[in-house]
Amino acid sequence: MFIRWHGYSCFEFADDRVRMVMDPHDGKSIGIWPPTVAANLVLCTHNNYDRNAFRVIYGHHKDYTEAIGEIDFNGFKITGLPSFSDDKMGAERGVNAIYMFEMDGLRIAFCGGLGDIPSDKVIDRMRGTDIMFVPIGEYGTMPLEKVDGFVSKVEPKVVVPTDYRVGGITLPLSTLSQYMEGKDEEDFVHVGNEVELMEDDISEFTGYWIFDR
């Protein structure tokens, strides 16, 4: 499995079946470079301008927005679990899809624009996750004080923080340093812009993976 970060909440995932992009931004509207990638599958967790720029992704791709339920893309299966982009059951910012899928034996949970801890039923389905992508920027997503509680409920082997402030970004986001407060710095591993891995590469809690662009 190949994973590459394209800034903010946009990630690319690929194996021999699919090249998929999650939460594409257009770059300009948030102050950073846009993604430069071709894909055949593009998914948006929450229908907002910072996550739904399907038009910037090259290639002929199938697009999904806030897709709750099962997706079958030429045999590649994704499950969209229901959640909200606020702490008022969606009354302010609407729904958010947590996308679950498996690549090369690894279970991935991509939380996108998650605004509150999801239901116990959803958390039960997320347990056993190998790598969980969770927003920490607090801009239309859950506050930092809830993130750790959510992570402890799911117990993923790897946590990938997303949506935090980086140089140039114009959104009022929290920083990675704020999220790291009170945590062991040795648990934070800088993995660069991209990684390639297989099931055997993750057997226990490995910490927090920090992608750079």
pLDDT, tens digit only, all 213 positions of the chain:
999 999 999 999 999 999 999 999 999 999 999 999 999 999 999 999 999 999 999 999 999 999 999 999 999 999 999 999 999 999 999 999 999 999 999 999 999 999 999 999 999 999 999 999 999 999 999 999 999 999 999 999 999 999 999 989 999 999 999 999 999 999 999 999 999 999 888 988 789 999 998
Per-chain mean pLDDT for the chain: 97
Q: Nearest Cα to 180, choosing from 195, 168, 193, 165? A: 165
Q: What domains are there in the chain, each with its CATH number?
A: 2-211 (3.60.15.10)
pLDDT value, residue 204: 81
pLDDT value, residue 17: 93
Considering only CA atoms, give the Rg of the chain.
16
SS3 123: helix
Q: Tokens 């697009």, residue?
A: 63
CB-based contacts of 168, cutoff 8 Å, min separation 6: 31, 32
Q: From CA 155, how far away is CA 141, in angstroms rounded?
A: 20
pLDDT value, residue 205: 78
